[in-house]
Amino acid sequence: MQQKFIIDGVKPLIGEIEVQTAKNAALPIIAACILTDEPVVIEKCPHLKDIDAMLDIMRHLGASVEFDGDNLTICCHDVALNVINSDLTGKLRSSIFILGSILSRCRHAYISHPGGCEIGLRPIDLHISGLKSLDVKIADDRGVICCDGTEMRAGMVNLDFASVGATENLMMAGALLDGETVIVNAAREPEIVDLAQFINAMGGRVSGAGGSVVRVIGVKKLHGCTYKPMPDRICAGTFLAAAAATGGSITVNGIIPEHIFGITERLKQTGAKLGFHRNSIRLLAAPRPRPIHKLETNVYPAFPTDMQPQLCAVLARAKGSSVVVENLFENRFGYTSELAKMGAAITVKDRVAVIHGVPQLYGATLRASDLRGGAALVVAALSAEGRSAVYGVEHIDRGYEYIERTLTELGASVRRADCGS
């Protein structure tokens, strides 16, 4: 049965929380487990719908998968070259990561076009063209991407855009090839560094991750390991934004502060005061947020597109007008029509949103249609006067591990209920 959140707003968030492991780090790491036939243990793996979808794909390929509390053990001793059909890929954009790891180990792969949130086209052209640069032959057979890597070899790949997914896919593709694969104009996100460290923990040779040129020297064999992925910078940013929206004061522990400077610098502009320690961030919100003259999303280390909706929810109550420019996804402002139900004054044209802050938002019946837009609705509802019902919780569950529990720890009034209740 589908579920909803019931949220009673105008309660400042106060307290301390521990941030979960990063979904966007764990997903490619799970895919990279295919590179070895030995067991891999991923510590503190989050229990999320996107993780479940990736694990379904791994099982389909013959992997054994077992959770022991928060520790996930994956063994890909026998990998079967089954077609990964649309029933599996339609749930998860990150299913495309599987291509690089399967090709590196098996030299063939068959996968239906991936799905995910409907926030833009997000074409996989960069993945395909990058693999072709490594001499992979690729054809589209009625929606199935058929990859023949029998003549696959290491080489240089120059990405037209610093795509996170394409960079990760190519790192995995090159891990077991003879010679050196060089990825030019590589993405620099912390999740890239995390994947490189994981491959190296298995005996791989990846260098330059975090810079614009990544080098992968192929090895004959990778071994199993135990690895703890990085903390989730977007989850940390979401809870900090929720505190800023509600006039709260929170400490987020277990985070790497430099990973989210692009977020925290913008929160400072809303009037919030922030303190940084080695693995924690403390935020003291302004009574009412200040506007941001111009906020633009871009690739790391700039302000991330995955935080744009949540910060717009904060700016909806700012004392003045803000302009937000979305440079990465053409359909990311869909959630603003839901904020309008709460009294927000937002005008959207193409990839630009003008937000005229209002003194107060009001509870409403809302529907999430994607992961981060859903998080924005929760942030807005927490700051709104009265009660809100947020439907489409399944989208939020894709990236936040029991978000209602964490918010309740901070003093929010949030409960999960079946839609029929």
Peptide bond into 257 cis (omega under 30): no
Q: How far apart are CA 106 and CA 248, in angstroms?
A: 52
- DSSP 8-state class, residue 281: E
CB 328 within 8 A of CB 297: yes
Q: Given the structure tokens 């919100």, which residue do they identify?
A: 285
Q: Looking at this protein, which amino acid is placed at residue 291?
A: P
**Is 225 in the active site?**
no
Residues 6+ apart with CB under 8 A from 112: 83, 84, 85, 86, 88, 89, 90, 143, 144, 145
Task: Give the neighbor-by-neighbor strand order of the sheet with 205-207.
Answer: 156-158, 180-184, 213-217, 205-207
Q: Using CA atoms, how far apart are residues 360 and 339, in angstroms rounded to an integer?
A: 12
Question: Strand, helix or coil at 322?
Answer: strand
- Closest Cα to residue 239, out of 180, 300, 295, 280? 280
Q: Which of 33, 45, 117, 312 is catalytic?
A: 117
CB distance 247 to 241 below 8 Å: no
Residues 6+ apart with CB under 8 A from 127: 96, 99, 100, 163, 165, 166, 169
Report CA-CA distances (Å) from 403 to 293, 297, 306, 393, 410.
Answer: 30, 24, 16, 10, 11
Closest C-alpha among 225, 229, 157 to residue 192: 229
User: Which H or E run contains 409?
Assistant: helix 403-409
Cα separation of 310 and 284, whole Å? 17
CA 362 to chain centre: 29
Q: Which residues are catalytic?
A: 117
